[in-house]
Amino acid sequence: MHEPMMGFWGLAGYVLMVALWAVVIVAVVLWVKSWLERGRPDSA
């Protein structure tokens, strides 16, 4: 018997899934930040 979610990948699958979501979240945050700053005049 084995756990239903612990397939071939096991713990590595969970680690890869968390890493993937972290990359997606960071990419979205950076995209939103650049989109918001595009409309503002530079204060240099």
Q: What CA–CA distances, in Å, run from 17 to 20, 26, 28?
A: 5, 14, 17
The model's confidence at residue 1, banded by pLDDT at 50, 70 and 90, is very low
Determine the 3-state secondary structure of 39 from DSSP: coil
Residue 27 confidence (pLDDT): 98
Q: What CA–CA distances, in Å, run from 31 to 7, 25, 28, 43?
A: 35, 10, 5, 20
Global pTM reads 0.61
d(CA 19, CA 32): 20
Q: Which residue did the predictor score with more confidence, 1 or 34?
A: 34
